[in-house]
Amino acid sequence: MSRKGSEYAGLSVAIVTPLRDGAVDYDTLGAQVEFQVEAATTCICPVGTTGESPTLTHDEHERVIAATVEAAGGRIKVMAGTGSNSTAEAIRLTKAAEAAGADASLQVAPYYNKPTQEGFYQHYRAIAGSVRIPLCVYNIPGRTAKNIEPATLIRLAKIDNVTMVKEATGSLDQASQLLAESDLTLLSGDDSLTLPLMSIGGEGVISVVGNIIPRDMIALVDAYRAGDAATAAAKHLKLFPLCRDMLGLATNPIPLKAAMMLLQRDTGEMRLPMTPLDETKMASLKQTLIDYGLL
Q: Per residue in 109-138, is it b (16+ CB within 10 Å) or e — as a string? A: bbbeeebeeeebbebbbebbeebebbbbbb
pLDDT 10s digits, 130-183: 999 999 999 999 999 999 999 999 999 999 999 999 999 999 999 999 999 999
Query: What percentage of the chain reaches a pLDDT higher than 70?
Result: 100
pLDDT 10s digits, 199-211: 999 999 999 999 9
Could you tell me if 15 and 50 are in contact, meaning their C-beta atoms sit under 8 angstroms apart? Answer: yes
| pTM of this prediction exceeds 0.75 | yes
Sign of the C-alpha dihedral computed for residues 47, 51, 54 and 58 taken in this order: negative
Catalytic status, residue 146: no
Element (H, E) at 249: none
Task: Reduce the DSSP state of residue 59 to 3 states and report it.
Answer: helix
pLDDT at position 2: 81
User: Which residues, given as ranges, of the chain have pLDDT below 50?
Assistant: none
- Provide φ and ψ at 55, rounded to 5°: -105, 5
- Provide φ and ψ at 224, rounded to 5°: -70, -40
**Which of the following is catalytic: 121, 124, 138, 224?**
138
**Which of the following is catalytic: 77, 166, 235, 257?**
166
pLDDT at position 1: 61
Task: Reduce the DSSP state of residue 285 to 3 states and report it.
Answer: helix
CA distances to 4, 26, 35, 110, 121 from 159, rounded to whole Å, are 11, 35, 34, 18, 10
Could you tell me if 29 and 70 are in contact, meaning their C-beta atoms sit under 8 angstroms apart? Answer: no
For 6-228, which CATH class? alpha beta
pLDDT at position 250: 97
Catalytic status, residue 166: yes
